[in-house]
Amino acid sequence: MNFIRGQDLSFRAGGDLPEASEAVEMLYEFAGMSAKDTYKLVVSTIVPRPIAWVTTQNSQGQLNAAPYSFFNAMSGQPPILVLGIGNRENGEPKDTLKNIQETGQFVINLVNQELASAMNVTATPFPYGINELEQAGLTTSPAQLVKPPKITESPVAFECELLQTVRVCEANTIVIGRALAMHIQDRYLLDAAKHYVNTPELKLIGRMHGAGWYTNTSELFQIERYTVESWEAAKDDQTGN
């Protein structure tokens, strides 16, 4: 049995979400579950996930591009970016991982809403050696510090060198890279000297649940972080002291 629940619940196929007071907490123990079912729960709840559109080259110079949503920044200084790369369905390593392990270099391009369809083309499981960017009608520009190029149309690109790979199981490998440089189109900068980016105008997209679901970053809200003093003042206001 892979989950525990306090009482039997009827299956709800859509409709209004029950009140929190009516909800019963479910517990799924991953150790007893299949990889497929564990994956479904993880990617349906850890959302949105940023997309790393990774360009790599093998030692013969053949170019590869593919998107990955197991991706994020793990450190600001030094700037560390981390990818999770799964194998192909037949168990073979993906071209991205092969190339990174062979050359130690890669570029992470970010995806905005305008490029969503082209990004989706590059996710197609083409045979090894096929240039996904050509298939998607995209172009590349030289990087400055690494051999793989960046995607010209991408609003932001990070040139990276491999620090370490961690093979967590037969089917999945974590890639830890150090960002050496970042490219950004100047129209997305509020103040280049002060490094202020107009983040909302990047219109980046993120991966959501299930097959083919994405989200944009057009609806934002802001919450100012408390200092200890401002939190104490806010509590006093709430209690009328």
pLDDT digits (tens, 9 = 90+) for 104-135: 999 999 999 999 999 999 999 888 778 889 99
Q: What is the percent of the chain where pLDDT is above 70?
A: 92
- Whether 45 and 62 have beta carbons less than 8 Å apart is answered as no
Mean pLDDT score, 58-70? 93
Q: Is the pLDDT of residue 160 over 90?
A: yes
Q: Is residue 189 part of a domain?
A: yes
Band of pLDDT at residue 219, cut at 50, 70 and 90: confident
CA distance to 18, 41, 75, 104, 208, per residue, from 81 (Å): 39, 24, 7, 14, 20
Q: Which residue has the higher pLDDT, 84 or 211?
A: 84
Q: Is residue 10 part of a domain?
A: no
Domain count, the chain: 1
Give one DSSP letter per residue of the chain, joined into a string. Answer: --EEESS------SSSPPPGGG---EEE-GGGS-HHHHHHHHHHHS--EE-EEEEEE-TT--EEEEEESSEEEEEETTEEEEEEEEPPTTSPPPHHHHHHHHHSEEEEE--BGGGHHHHHHHTS-PPTT--HHHHTT--EE--SSSSSPEETT-SEEEEEEEEEEEE-SSSEEEEEEEEEEEEE-GGGEEETTTTEE-HHHH-BEEE-SSTT-EEES------PPPPHHHHHHHHHHHHT-
Domain ranges, residue 202: 49-216
Q: Is residue 112 part of a domain?
A: yes
Q: Is residue 212 part of a domain?
A: yes
Q: Is residue 87 part of a domain?
A: yes
Give residue-wise pLDDT tens across range 2-38.
Answer: 444 444 444 444 556 778 888 888 999 999 999 999 9
Band of pLDDT at residue 239, cut at 50, 70 and 90: low
CATH, residue 141: 2.30.110.10
Choose the weakest-confidence range: 25-39, 196-210, 226-240. 226-240
- The predicted pLDDT at position 23 comes to 83
Distance between CA 175 and CA 142 in Å, rounded?
23
Q: Is residue 150 part of a domain?
A: yes
Tokens 């053949």 map to which residue? Answer: 62
Q: Is residue 9 part of a domain?
A: no
Q: Is residue 84 part of a domain?
A: yes
- The predicted pLDDT at position 11 comes to 43
Write down the pTM of the prediction.
0.88
Q: Is the pLDDT of residue 76 over 70?
A: yes
Q: Is the pLDDT of residue 88 over 80?
A: yes
- The predicted pLDDT at position 3 comes to 41
Q: Which residue has the higher pLDDT, 81 or 217?
A: 81
Band of pLDDT at residue 142, cut at 50, 70 and 90: very high
